[in-house]
Every structure is written in C-alpha cells, then in structure tokens.
Structure 1
Amino acid sequence: MKLPKYLRDFLIYLTTITGKSPRTRKEYEYDLILFLRFIKAIEQDLDMKNIHKIDISDVTIDSIKELALEDLYLFMEYCEVQRGNSAASRARKVATLKSFFKYLKGKRRLLEENPAEHLETPKIGKRQPVYLNFQEAQQFIGAVDYQHHSSRDYCMMVFFLNLGIRVSELCSLNLHSINDRMLTVIGKGDKERQVYLNDACLTALENYLLERKPYKGEGPEPLFVSQKGTRFARQTIAKIVKQINQNSVTPKEKLTPHKLRHTSATMMYKAGADIRSLQAILGHSSVATTQIYTHIEDEQIQEVLKNNPFNSL
C-alpha cells in the first residue's frame, strides 16, 4: 500500500527519533491508515463497509489542513459504534492522533492549527491484574515436564515467574545479555535495565544451556533458540505457555505470558517488595503503572479486619 509522504515521514520519525518499537509503529500505522480512509470516505461519501479497500495515497496535506476537532470526534464515534472499539482501544487511537498532529504542526510546520490539541482521552476503568496464586503457579511450572524441550521451556517459564519480564523482552535476550548473575534486559523504548538472576534462574539456565540447540540465523546469538534454530517470536512463546497450561492440574483460563508477568509482580509485592523496587524490576517508566499491584494490600487489609476479635461482638 502506498502511503502519503507525510505519513511515511511520521512513521520514520517515530522509530528513529522517539525510539518507538516496531510493534508500536505498526499500531500507529494501522490507526492512521484507518483514520485517513475514514476521512476520505466522509469527504467522498464512500461506503464504509468497504473502508479497508480505500486508497489513501492521494490524501494530501491540504485535506488534513481542513480537519477540525469535530472531525476527530466523528472518527472516534465511528470506532466506538461501528467498529465496537473498547475504551482502551479508542484511547490508543487518541494518543496516535495527538502524536501525529503534534508532529505535523510542531516538527514539520505543515499545519497552522492542531485539531487534536483538545481531543480528550476516553476514561478507562481500572482493571485488576489477572494472576496465578502460588499453588497454581507451582502446578503450572510442574506441567513443563510434559514438553518435548522441557529444559528450555522450564527456563523460560522460570524467567517469567522470577523476573517478571515481558514476552518481547524474553524473545530479545541474547547470550551476551548474561554477565555472571546479572541479566541485561531491553525494555520498551529500547530502555536497558539490569535484573538479578536468583538461584532458581541460574539453575534453570545452566540445565538449559547444556541442551541448547545451535543458532542458524544471523546477528547476535539469541539466548532462547527454537527447535529450528531460530529466534523465538512472541506468538510462539504464547503457544508454549498455552500448551503448558493445558497440561497443568488446574488450567487457568486464557493464560498468557503477560499474566505470568502479573503473577511474578503480585508474588513479589506480597513477599514485601516496595513499589519503587518493583518499578525498577518490571521496567515501568511510571510508578503509577506499578501501583496496580497494590490491590493486594487492600485484600490483606480486608482479611485483617475480618479476623479482628471484635468482629464477633
């Protein structure tokens, strides 16, 4: 698909200047292609049912200059009503539009006015993290024995549960990421952090490295290598987690690598980790993100109040 030059330039700006990941760039690209198709469909009275077929290569910057805040509201209404987008999905689109128009006006000087400047973000209800309790986590990790490549899969699951790393971070680990008991993790926005490898991680790692398959690709040697000798993709790791979960004594509904990250964070918080330490371990840029795990404290407080001797009065 041929994109307008100003859109191509913006996407390049995202990765080269702001340091956005390729995945984030694809999300921005998807949102903006949909937005430009919507704008063209409105202008030319095209059928919205065929919006995915609309060519946007001829959407000029002059068309963008004509847009007002009301046009953005109309697009957000379309996303909510016609496409059934959740508040979280619409919030991402708002962030995309704000970033896009800020670039066109502030960086490129292609616009005199920024129609997205006062575009509000939909309110997103706070969602509690879904996680395994300690017994469920033990049963899950015990089910790794049923895997064909159990030492490798066991090591990956131990890393998830002990280090709380993201699946994308696990996939990007290289052999040289390990230095004695320290692991260098590349997080969102290419931010680097050091994570301590505890005894469980070291033992699992030593056992895996004895059986690790040779890497058949190019570039840095990945730590975790697939059966074909390639670097793992996020989707493949998700399938492995699903297989292990299915073999568990008590499978958890829709278990994902991200829920294993939640499990790790929740267990560390329960064990006494302070919020700042947890923020550093998880690689959160804002402590507000880490604070979703403080819901455990509320549960514990409720339990204390229930067990208060005066509760029997």
Structure 2
Amino acid sequence: MEQVPETFAAVLADYERHLVSERDLTPHTVRAYLGDVSGMLAHAAALGSDSLDDLDIRTLRSWLANQQTRGKARTTMARRATAVRVFTAWALRTGRASADAGAQLGSPKAHKPLPPALDQAQARALLEAAAVQADDGSPVGLRDVAILELLYATGIRVGELCGLDVDDVDRGRRVVRVFGKGRKERTVPYGLPAEQALARWLETARPTLAVAGSGAALFLGARGKRVDQRAVRSMVHRRLADVPGAPDLGPHGLRHTAATHLLEGGADLRTVQELLGHASLATTQIYTHVTTERLRQAYQLAHPRA
C-alpha cells in the first residue's frame, strides 16, 4: 500500500473498517481494495490534491492512464477502476466527499479467455479413477472422492468447500448450505453419487481422522484439522494428472466444468447464476461462450460442409 498524506490516511483507515466490519470482505480482498485506492490517492496527492473534494474525473483518468504507461494488464486496470468507483461512492454516501468523482470513470474492457473445463468423459474418468484408488478404504482417499464429487456436483468455490461444517449438509434433502462472498448464504443441491461419497466419508473415514481440535469441519486434513485450500488444490491437480488428455485444472476448473455441463444439459442462465452464487448475471454469461465454442468445434468435426 502506497504512502498517502495524513488527511487521506485517516479516510483510508475508516474505509478499511467499513470493508472489514460492514461488507465482511476477506483479508485478501480488503488488501486489494486498499492497495488500489491508496495508489489513486497517492497519485492525486502528487497532483496537488489534499482532500477528497479535490478529486475529479480528470485526476482519476490521469491515474488510470499512468497505470497503462506502466504496463498494467487490462484486467488489473479494470479491477482498480472498480475499486476506486466503490470508494468514491462510499465517500459521498458517508459525507466525506461532496461529489462522487468515480461515477463517470469507465473501465478498460478485459479480454476474457474462455475458462478451461473438462468434457463429460474426462469428468467421469476423474471421479471413477479416484473411487478405484479409494477402494483400499484409506480415509484420505475416501475424503478425496467426496471432495471431488461435491465440487463437481455443486460448482462451489474451494474456499466455500473448505469452510463447510458437518451441519451444513442436509443429506435427507441432498442440499448443502454455502456461505459465499460477503457471507451471502445459498443452498445448493447435489446428486446421488456425491451423497454416496459423502456417506462413506462421514460414516467410515472422518471418524478415523477426527481429533480433539477437529470441531465441526466437514472435511479434515491428514492431521485431523479442517482441510486447507492449498491441500485441496494440490489434490485436484494430482488427480487430474492421471486422466489422459485432461487439462491441468484446479478446483476452480471443476467449478467451470460444473457450470458448463449444466448449461449443456439444458439449465438456464439464471439457475446457474443462483447455484454458483454470482452477484451478476454478466459473470455467468461467460459460460454461454464456452458452450457455443464447443458446439462450433463439434460442428466443424462432424458436418461434411463445415
């Protein structure tokens, strides 16, 4: 975070408290927001501004242009523009500024690549291979199968998965209660294969790994504590390495895969948006490009006059 004048430092401290206590953002997101805003305020101070009322659209555009000359990616610039718009709107709403300077600030359009995803045969091969390897009854193997099945069945984020408690799973209704970004709660259904994998994990394997400090965590690491996101990412990469032709994906790739297969199976965008916990439908629409691209590839392979 860049150094800013004292008048701006006090505002930044208030803004940090707002992000943490009122918006309940993760520490990583809070650091990113504060870093972006402090960079803008340092630029404004260098241009002679010493209060939020001095901010105007020219100052903000000058700051963005400076980012471009320093070689920042379009995605980075778009994120920083968003962070500043959120900050200036908060400053006006709380009476710390008399105008919202960021309201007119546009964002550079990011080139969104199509997210990689497994095809249905590769997803099936991943889950079947993991199940075969878990036939020896090892607790970690059974846990891995349950994690893979749940990630693919629900499309939840890896952080959401690792934060699940045993009571968040309603096995009778086959739904899981998930706390997403901003602690927003949603209920996501899962299928019979995931239920069978969860049953083996909860009834056979979890009790053997549980220790005094396990608490209510649904998934445990080898030492009995709540499983770590890095361990889940490493496991997914390792398991996928055994699937011939599969791209090297992490848990987020399984989230993309779940969304893609839902749309290919006929689910509508609004349903997929709700299941994934996207705040905006625009975020979910990337998956329509994925399915269209697959349709085009299939057409080119199959049609005699493609």
Which of 162-171 and 119-128 deviates more? 119-128
Aligned residue number for residue 16 of structure 2:
11
The yes-or-no answer on 1:208 pairing with 2:208 is no
* Aligned equivalents of 1:6, 1:62: Cα separation in 2: 12
Gaps of 5+ in 1: 45-60
Which of the residues 146, 155, 159 maps onto 1:155?
146
Rate the CA distance shift 1:273–1:110 in 2: closer, same or farther, 3 A.
closer
TM-score by length of 1: 0.80
Deviation at 1:97, TM superposition (A): 0.6
SS class of match (1:135): helix
Q: Deviations over 1:181-237 (max 9, x none)?
A: 22111122222111223111111101112111215548x611111122222333332
Structure 2's unaligned 5+ residue stretches are: none
Between stretches 152-161 and 23-32, larger displacement belongs to 23-32
2: CA distance, partners of 1:134 / 1:189: 32
For residues 149-174 of structure 1, the C-alpha deviation after alignment (integer angstroms, 9 at most, x for no partner) is 21111111111111111111111111
Aligned length: 290
- Aligned partners of 1:39 and 1:286: how far apart in 2? 31
Aligned twin of 1:101: 88
| Alignment partner of 1:191 is 2:184 | yes
Select between 128-137 and 279-288 the one with higher mean Cα deviation: 279-288
- Quick one: distance in 2 between partners of 1:23 and 1:211? 33
CA distance in 2, matches of 1:113, 1:291: 33
Whether the aligned pair in 1 keeps the contact of 2:273 and 2:284 (CA below 8 Å) is yes
Hey, what does 2:74 align to over in structure 1? 87
Percent of aligned positions that are identical? 28
Residue by residue over 1:57-76, the C-alpha shift from the partner in whole angstroms, topping out at 9 and shown as x without a partner, is xxxx9344433323222322
Give the aligned partner of residue 101 of structure 2.
Answer: 115
The partner residue of 1:129 within 115, 139, 159 is: 115
Contact 2:116 2:247 survives alignment (8 Å): no
The match for 1:171 among 151, 162, 184 is 162
Partner of 1:260: helix, strand, or coil? helix
- Give the C-alpha shift of residue 238 in structure 1: 1.6
Tell me if structure 2 keeps the 8 A contact 1:215–1:221: no
1:250–1:305 Cα change, 3 Å: closer
| Letter matched to residue 32 of structure 1 | V
How many Å separate the matches in 1 of 2:281 and 2:86? 23
Report the AA paired with residue 258 of structure 2: S
- Provide the rounded CA distance (Å) in 1 between the counterparts of 2:108 and 2:17: 27
2:65 is matched with 77
Q: Report if the CA contact (8 A) 2:154-2:275 is conserved.
A: yes
Equivalent residue for 2:259? 265
Mapping of residues 6-85 of structure 1, within 5 Å: 6-39=11-44, 42=46, 62-82=50-70, 84-85=71-72
Letter of the 1:156 partner, please give it: I
Q: Give 1:166's aligned amino acid.
A: R
